[in-house]
A and B are shown apart, each in its own frame.
Chain A
Amino acid sequence: MSDDLLHEALRSSLDHCVKCTICETACPVSNVTPLFPGPKYAGPQAERYRALGQPSEDSSVDYCSGCGLCTMSCPQGVKIAELNAHARYAVKQRKGVPVRDRIITRPTALGRLGTPVAPLANASLRARPVRVLAEHLLGVHREAPMPKFAGRRFRSWAHAHRSPAAGSRVIYFHGCGTEFYEPDVGEKVVAVLEHNGHRVEIPDQDCCGLPLQSSGLFDDARKYVLRLARALAPHARDGTLIVGNATSCTLMLKREAREILGLEDDPDLALVSRQTFDICELLLQQHDRGALALDFQPVQEIVAYHAPCQQQGHWIGKPALELLALVPGLEVREMDARCCGIAGTYGLKREKYKIAMDVGADLFAQVEASGARLVVCDSETCRWQIEHATQRPSVHPIELLHRAYRL
């Protein structure tokens, strides 16, 4: 679909806006800063003043973090976050994209650079003078949470790993976070899937392009996501499901790339989009069929669960809660704060770090009050932000299931 047609399709939804303000109540950003006037203003209202091909003078939409809670809350089906993503793209087209945004939005490039020199890279990213310099030169906030390079790649493990020949096939899309920073999470995902009767195939794969898209670099994002679709689709043509633990990246494949980047017509992406499942979504449905292994051993712990915005954007509720409820002894406190603030790379940016921390303040206070020493969350960047802000370790729900299975 052309940009114009796509934009028109999104715009047609704005006529359903009845100005009820429900999106305003959902927006985590406008609730803490006047720099973003809120989804109703920046979205359906301002959109009426934006003409295709004409410059837009209002740049406030750059402060939208793209969390998507407005779209999810809208009772009228207005594509608020998607309209805002387009408006952000237009702003970037006009004002240019900072060098920083071209760098921090390429996790594979960064991962390839950092992995071989992980100890040095990790030390540097935690060294005050380096961070101060990076803030001045690049605009990456000195306090912003940085993940640690694992020093090895998940792919190396995956190449050596042989899944049992029996079992139903499933394609594993692991994402960049697992590849470079948390290969152990990927190993646990594979172990839990295999324990539940799956034969796990792990095709070669690259970034989904989400960070580029959320920074308004649409052309580059399209290249990445289509490359990924080409890599995954051949393995899934027979109906095999694709499963991922990186919840924002699976959402990119399921919906955002199609809706925001206008790739509705790409057959590979359409196939991948239909057949991609969030790991907890897949396991809950398996449980619903009575096919989930229930040999959970007790885990005597109180944990806080935060469903990240991008997980909620799957529109599947919170399947992790139902899975974790199966683990004996485990007490799960559901947090009901909106957002941790990080929104991928949003909270790394110098001018947005403080906003991101303010957005997350409700969640951090709830975690503090919950009595939990461990925070469970489906998205890696959110986990890093939560660890940074609460000084508590944060894990993917699968890591807890893995523990309970004693794999």
Chain B
Amino acid sequence: MSASLHYDVVVLGVGVAGLTAATRLAEGGARVCVLAKGVGSTHLAPGTVDVLGYAPERVTKPAAALPDFVAMHPDHPYALVGADAIAPALQWFAARVERGPQPAYGYRGDLQRNHLLPTALGAIRPSALVPKTMAGGELSAATPACVVGIRVLRDFHASLCAGNLRRAGIPCRAIEVDVDVGRVEANALGLARRFDDASFRAAFAARLALLLRPGERVGLPAVLGLRDPHGAWLDLQHRLGRPVFEIPTLPPSVGGIRVYDALRAALRAAGGRLVLGAEVVGVGREGEHIRAVRAHTSGHDTIYEASWVVLATGGLHSGAIELRSDWSAHETILGLPLHGVPTAGQPRFGGDYFGPQPISRIGVAVDASLLARETDNVFVAGAALPGAEPWREGSGEGIALASGYFVAQAVLEREGAIAAA
């Protein structure tokens, strides 16, 4: 038993790339349905938009570095979409967040200059577009910082963060604060829900104020609320009488969840449909044309027929691409051909853990319009694309946004051409 539904576009995957493509398509008038096995990588990512952080030296001006970067990496997603395609995607994203469910919450920055923000471990993250609540962590500023640990929050260690920053020459120190959240430990999301409450913030600020020194800015783990983080952030700055900034935490990442919430709301407002839990288990294919996908739904499968498919399922980390011990690699959902797979005998892994890793450049083979090879209607976006090493480059969100936006434009143009003909 299976039942069927028709859409203009089926988008597979609900990370930043999939949500961007789907929302942009729905805004352009397409009937869109997003299918996802589960929630995507948004909840694991810091919530910053890193476009180009290292090439391979730290990049301070992405706009200036991108032309050389794409010239040297001709099969990189940025080379395919073109360096000029990144800025409009960033602007689009920032505008969606500003219209999002969290009042006044927004981003700051562009490709002219990377912000240098602290990570939870006290490393330096170069990022082009960052939440305003995090922007105050700019490490090129001379103001000393006080990194505040909240004892109940596991996985955020202020002294580790501050120690590493100090080693990098950044003036800062660490303190720990106790708060009562009614349980022995909490994760970032649990704390964020408490910070939504003004009376909790007031009590927290009163306790913290006693421990601060004059002239310090305050770095807190990114837990300043989900409902109204901008309001919570302003409130704490007001109560403490000094700049406050958020530092992204380990998952669950509140900054990333805010991105999901904003894009999800934008998709909803544009009339796009989202089906969670629907794992794609089959493909209806005629030659180069993917006519439909079969999704496993409770009881019976459901066939989703579409004119276009956007594959935004991620890469090796999400399980969308699988590498076997016999050196073969597979795209697991549509069975598309891959690019960049090391052949037998070629190295797949580099000896230096943080150095170049050939396997990470594996992705779905595409042409210059991000159309998957051997298909006439499947576009690819995000980490499924080949040629990038996002964690080394500091480019993950930039690739997701730029390629998601780009493939939406490509589909809309083709739809328009069909309609005009």
Contact = CB atoms under 8 A, between A and B. Distances in A.
B102 interface: no
Interface stretch (B69-77, B143-151, B282-290, B294-302): B294-302
B181 to A, nearest CB: 9
A312 B275 CA distance: 9
Interface residues of B, number: 43
A312 B276 contact: yes
Contact of B277 (A21, A72, A239): A72
Interface string B37-48: 111100110000
Nearest to B296: A315
Nearest to B276: A72
A31 B226 CA distance: 13
Contacts of A322: 273
Nearest to B42: A22
Interface in B272-329: 273-279, 295-300, 302, 318-319
Contact of A21 (B1, B38, B43, B101): B43
Given A254-B298, A316-B297, A25 B257 contact: yes
B406 to A, nearest CB: 24
Interface residues of A, number: 41
A317 B33 contact: yes
A316 B37 contact: no
Given A72-B276, A315-B276, A22 B39 contact: yes
Contact of B302 (A25, A275, A316, A336): A316
B4 interface: yes
Given A288-B4, A312-B276, A21 B252 contact: yes
Interface stretch (A44-52, A221-229, A277-285, A373-381): A277-285
A72 B1 contact: no
Interface in A290-330: 312-318, 322
Interface in A1-58: 20-22, 24-26, 30-31, 34
Contacts of B189: 24-25, 31
B251 interface: yes
B5 interface: yes
Contacts of B296: 315
B43 A25 contact: yes
Interface centre among B36, B182, B252, B278 (most CB of A within 10 A): B252
Given A34-B183, A315-B277, A26 B39 contact: yes
Interface string B344-386: 0000000000000000000000000000000000000000000
A75 B268 CA distance: 21
B122 to A, nearest CB: 22
Interface string B76-91: 0000000000000000
A20 B43 contact: yes
Contacts of B101: 336
21 contacts: A20-B44, A20-B251, A21-B251, A22-B39, A22-B252, A73-B276, A74-B38, A75-B37, A75-B40, A77-B38, A254-B298, A254-B299, A255-B299, A281-B3, A284-B5, A285-B4, A288-B4, A315-B278, A316-B298, A317-B276, A336-B264
Interface of B: 1, 3-6, 33, 36-40, 43-44, 101, 182-184, 187, 189-190, 193, 251-252, 257, 264-265, 268, 273-279, 295-300, 302, 318-319
Given A276-B299, A314-B299, 20 more contacts: A21-B251, A25-B189, A26-B39, A71-B277, A75-B38, A75-B39, A77-B279, A254-B299, A275-B299, A277-B3, A285-B4, A288-B4, A312-B276, A312-B277, A314-B298, A315-B275, A315-B276, A317-B33, A336-B101, A336-B265
